[in-house]
Amino acid sequence: MKRLVGASVPLLAALVAFLFGAIMILALGENPLSGLAAMFDGAFGTGDRIAATAVRAVPLLLVGAGITIAFRANVINIGGEGQIIAGALLSTVVALTIPDTPKIILLPLVILGGLIGGAIWGAIPGVLKAYASVNEILSTIMLNIVAVQLMNYLLRGPMIDPIEVDGSRIPQTERLTDNAALPTLIEGTRLHLGVPIAILAAIIVYIILWRTPLGFRLRAVGHNPDAARAAGISVERNIVKALAMSGALSGLAGVTLVFGSESLRMVTDGGSAGFTGSAGFNGIVAALFGALHPLWTIPSSFLFGALLTGATELQRELQIPNALAISLNGLIVLFVVSSDKVREWLARRLDSSTGQPINEPPSADSPPDQVATTSSGNDPETVA
Amino acid sequence: MSAPVLQMHNITKTFPGVLANDDVSFDVHAGEVHTLLGENGAGKSTLMKILFGLYQPDSGQILLRGQQANITSPTDAIEKRVGMVHQHFMLVPTLTVAENVALGLPSSRGLRTDLDAVSERIASISEQYGLSVDPGVEIWKLSVGERQRVEIIKALYRDAELLVLDEPTAVLTPQEVDDLFVILRQMTAADTAIIFISHKLHEVMELSDRITVLRNGRVTGHTTPAETSRQQLADLMVGREVKLAPDKPPVDLGLVRLKLRGVTVKGDRGTIAVDNVDLDVHAGEILGVAGVSGNGQRELAETIAGLRPAEAGSVQLDDTDLSKANPAQSRAAGLSYVPEERMKDGAVGEFDVSENLLLINHGEKRFLRNGLFNFDAIKSHCQQLVDDFAVKTPSLSTPTSSLSGGNIQKVIMARELESSPAVLVAAQPTRGVDIGAAEYIHSQLVKQRSDGVAIVMISEDLDEVLGLADRIAVMFEGRIVKIVDRENATKDQLGLAMAGAG
């Protein structure tokens, strides 16, 4: 019963958020139902739109899967934006350096470049946290800014499209070689190889976390660094690994943004969102909505992808600014995060209604059935 | 004889799947110490929570001074002159004794505090019972024993006629325990009734006027110290015959396996915690390290385990120098470590039983197939350990934090001994553990000794040290102040050395 409540709460939160969205559409003088219909149509109306939704979900899923790794090791990675940019930059450098390499070799190298770029950008705050106790929330945010300025410098200078040097000096690279483009899976749609790669990446994250010694150590460090250290697990090394892996996945998201785009080049408008579409932040949202579990982050990312593509249609049909989608996004986060409290409260209510004592360390955190089964060694006997 | 201060009649309380109290009756008269003795989970705490109005009993009744009492909350209990000294103190460290006592009391000066009057009364209570507490001093400046006396004053200030003490000696040094017992006797002489909750048998025998033993929610015996023995009490608590001191077969002393020379270690606050310690521990020997908590034992254990770097000196295990080793290197050299704080350093509470059993050796080939965990191999390995070490757990996938302290300790012991170590450092191996589990843990230590393991057992419990150790080292202020063979050791002499007077 309690588990059912736990699972339904995020969905409930999404529902409430959509209700608020409907009220906002109403306030703008439009029919909420036709608004929602337009959004749904925009996200799933045609095969092409479904493909667009999937493509929008790809960076969210990659960043989100990375967030789940960091979270399990109890580090908070707000540096998705910077890691996306670092991955995109390094993979672009690869494509610019050896453009004539055959696709079968170049594409893996480009992907590897993205993974390494993101991993480096994640490992820096990891090292700072592990060996100098620098708070990773601050350092990852700071590195976002550093990455943006690095991108601006490189795209305005060393990596600028030669045509633009004497032209309008738009900060962008030249069109990259087709040998590095992510292949389209269904002709006539934008569905590219990034979609299966992202889903596979999330599954691999799940396997690493729960099926390998590496993931075991990450989780041990995340839950109890003291016990992990005493058992011979290096807390420092695993913090660095967690942030590096998390960054690598964001870097891969950067690859999909450049090499899955139709323009096939890296462009900056001076900020980070212009290139990333805020995927570095929205990926965190997707991971949160997916209960910080890599597999649940898959449907969650697709939901947010649908929200983003749906908003475009909403704007086109009803002239409702797509800022609405962004506020919906925020509302969902708000409700999901606060629903943790609701969930706790509900759980406690269920506990007390079944007569399960409260204030009991062993039972307050674990479902009642567990307490009952451990009865002989561990009954309500702690505080008095 | 007047009516007892408290009578609890036929109290029954059930929780889903647990019969916490089953028809429990007992009473306390003015001027006596009535001990509730039982293992964790025996129902002592539930009974006291009913007395304090935190739970309502399913059936049964409570009589205070012969009158039927319906206690609805702790506040109500205090108004009915029932006081409680918790195991974990409820004091504000930055406030003075008088301010802590005054917290929650109405003041005669309205909104302003009335500390002079409070201080005056504390001083008179303090004098009456020999508590020697200065009302003007801040709590953080007081020792643990003094803080406990402040808790007692809080109860007495509120005119408690019945005082419940929940495992009051768990946090005290032997000397402080003696002091506490003197205070408690003065209180009973002044007609206060005391309920003493404990599982330390020698203290129970020393202090109690009457004893009620609980097991699995039921009363298994009402007795007095004159009519019973420690052995009989232990048997009543556990429900079978218990070996209080394990049989130790003779073992030939082997070579020195752990050698410490001039080991000096800094504590958390940067002061010297371990001061120039030399130790040799032989194969087949249990070296007991006695001492009052906080005299460098924890830091010494952590240094041997590679968790805390030594400032000076050397740690050598067989031929390996571990002076600069990290925990992984120490373990690779053959060291196993059972930490003092099992939930902080010993086990990952959120991990399930099998994950905690694998905390050290999860990377070994036998648990992997193609780089991924082989859950069949893991399951059979862990099931074997759970069976071998008699861990009571519903399943291997039960979160470890929901097990009892004794069972968590067994999980840690199973994991640490599985690797057949050369040296075992066990810090407070049975602290807060049931008698039954402690008996089992002791038997495992003796078995390891027979197998030729060099064991360092750190314990504050002198009975445990005397029962198990072959040699006893006493630590005081970071130094080994005394080291004697078990045959030549007496409790008094060790107690004096622990206090720095040996």
CA distance, residue B53 to nearest chain A CA (Å)? 11
Instruction: Pick the residue from chain B with its C-alpha nearest to A212.
Output: B372
- Structural domain including A283 reads 48-314
Map residue A102 onto helix, strand or coil.
coil
Kindly determine whether residue A368 and residue B16, on different chains, have CB atoms separated by under 8 Å.
yes
Q: Which residues of A touch B344 (CB under 8 A)?
A: 224, 226-227
The answer to whether residues A274 and A206 touch, using CB atoms and an 8 Å cutoff, is no
Q: How many CA atoms lie within 13 A of B478 on its CB side?
A: 14
**Sign of the CA dihedral with A261 first, then A265, A271, and A276 last:** positive
Residues of B in contact with A377 (CB under 8 A): 40-41, 392, 403-404, 406-407, 434
| A380 at interface of B, judged by CB pairs closer than 8 A | yes
* Contact check, Cβ <8 Å, A374/B402: yes
Q: Is A353 in the B-facing interface, judged by CB distances under 8 Å?
A: no
Query: Any residues with CB less than 8 A from the CB of B288 and at least 6 apart, and which?
Result: B457, B458, B459, B464, B465, B466, B468, B469, B470, B471, B472, B473, B486
CB within 8 Å of A189: residues ≥ 6 apart? A47, A48, A51, A52
Residues of A with Cβ-Cβ distance to B237 under 8 angstroms: none
Give chain B positions within 8 Å (CB) of A219. 351
Tell me whether residues B49 and A383 touch, CB distance under 8 A.
yes
Are B402 and A383 in contact (CB < 8 Å)? no
* CA distance, residue A371 to nearest chain B CA (Å): 7
In the Cβ-directed half-sphere of B432, how many Cα atoms lie within 13 Å?
17
Q: What is Dmax (Cα atoms) for chain A? A: 82
A230/B43 touch (CB, cutoff 8 Å), yes or no: no
How far apart CA A65 and CA A295 sit, in angstroms, is: 8
B17: nearest CB among A207, A229, A375: A375
User: Which 240-299 residues of chain A touch chain B by CB within 8 A?
Assistant: none
CB contact under 8 A, A232 and B399: no
| Nearest CB neighbour to A382, from listed B45, B344, B372 | B45
Quick check: A133 contacting B, CB < 8 Å?
no
> How far apart, in whole angstroms, are the C-alpha atoms of residue B114 and residue A261?
75
Residue A32 within any structural domain of the chain: no
Across the interface, of B46, B360, B362, the residue whose CB is closest to A380 is B46
Record: contact B347-A227, CB cut-off 8 A: yes
Q: How many domains does chain A have?
A: 1
- What's the pLDDT score for residue A374? 33
All structural domains of chain B with their residue ranges = 6-238, 243-334+421-502, 341-420
Mutate to test the interface with B, among A203, A204, A211, A379 (most CBs of B within 10 A): A379
Cα–Cα distance for residue pair B190/B186, rounded to 1 Å: 6
CA dist., res. A374 & res. A372, Å (int): 6
Please name the residues in contact with A258: beta carbons below 8 A apart, sequence gap of 6 or more.
A88, A91, A92, A176, A264, A265, A266
Could you tell me which chain A residue has the CA closest to the CA of B52? A384
Q: Do A379 and B394 lie within an 8 Å CB cutoff?
A: no
pLDDT of residue A339: 67
Residue A358 in domain: no
Q: Touching check for A359 and chain B: CB below 8 Å?
A: yes
Residue A282's CATH number? 1.10.3470
Overall fold of domain B6-238: Rossmann fold (3.40.50)
Residue A205 distance to chain B (closest CA, Å): 13
Of B86, B359, B403, nearest to A220 by CB-CB distance is: B359
Which positions in chain B touch A208 (Cβ < 8 Å)? none
Q: What is the pLDDT of residue A369?
A: 34
CA distance A354 to B121: 46
Residue A263 distance to chain B (closest CA, Å): 40
Q: Distance, in angstroms, between A377 CA and closest chain B CA? A: 6
Q: Is the CB of residue A179 less than 8 Å from the CB of residue A100?
A: yes
Closest approach of B140 to chain A, Cα-based (Å):
23
Look at residues B54, B8, B48 and name the one whose alpha carbon lies nearest to residue B28.
B8
**How confident is the prediction along chain A (384 residues), in pLDDT tens digits per residue?**
445 555 666 777 778 888 888 888 888 888 888 888 888 898 898 888 999 999 999 999 999 999 999 999 999 999 999 999 999 999 999 999 999 999 999 999 999 999 999 999 999 999 999 999 999 999 999 999 999 999 999 999 889 988 888 878 889 999 999 999 999 998 888 899 999 999 999 999 999 999 999 999 999 999 999 999 999 999 999 999 999 999 999 999 999 999 999 899 999 988 888 899 889 999 998 998 888 899 999 999 998 899 888 888 888 888 877 777 778 777 877 777 676 666 666 666 655 444 333 333 333 333 333 333 333 333 333 333
Scanning every residue of chain B, which has its alpha carbon at the shortest distance from the alpha carbon of A204? B372
Q: Determine if residue A46 is left, alpha or beta; phi over 0 gives left, psi from -120 to 50 gives alpha, anything else beta.
A: beta
Rounded distance between C-alpha atoms, residue B308 and residue B268, angstroms: 10
Which residues, given as ranges, of chain B have pLDDT below 50? none
User: Residue B263 in 3-state DSSP?
Assistant: strand
Name the pairing type of β-strands B471-476 and B479-485: antiparallel
B418 Cα to chain A: minimum distance (Å): 13
Rounded Cα distance between A362 and A347, Å, is 14
Q: Which of B88, B406, B401 is nearest to B237 (CA)?
A: B406
CB contact (8 A) between residue B44 and residue A230: no
Handedness of CA B406, B407, B409, B414 (dihedral sign): positive
Instruction: Tell me the sheet residues that pair with B454.
Output: B285, B423
Q: Does the beta-carbon distance from A384 to B350 stay under 8 Å?
A: no
Record: contact B327-A230, CB cut-off 8 A: yes
Within a domain: A362: no
**CATH architecture assigned to B243-334+421-502:** 3-Layer(aba) Sandwich (3.40)
> B349 and A371 in contact by Cβ < 8 A?
no
Confirm or reject contact between A225 and chain B (CB < 8 A).
Answer: no
Would A278 be classed as within a structural domain? yes
Please, are residues B105 and B154 in contact by the beta-carbon 8 Å criterion? no
Q: What is d(CA B411, CA B396) in angstroms, rounded to the nearest whole number? A: 11
Residues in chain A within 8 Å Cβ distance of B16: 354-356, 368, 371-372
Provide, as residue numbers in chain B, all residues whose Cβ is less than 8 Å from the Cβ of A230: 305, 307, 327, 337, 339, 345-346
Concatenating the DSSP letter of every residue in A160-194 gives S-HHHHTTT--SBPPPPPGGGSPPBSSTTS--BTH
Give the number of beta-carbon pairs within 8 Å between A and B. 153
**Nearest-CA distance B433 → chain A (Å):** 11
Q: Find which of B87, B214, B268, B402 to mutate to test the A interface (most A CBs within 10 Å of its CB).
A: B402
Q: Chain A contacts of B164, Cβ < 8 Å?
A: 384
Q: Give SS3 for B478.
A: coil
Of B166, B359, B363, the CB nearest to A384: B166
Q: Would you call A355 and B346 a contact, using CB atoms and an 8 Å cutoff?
A: no
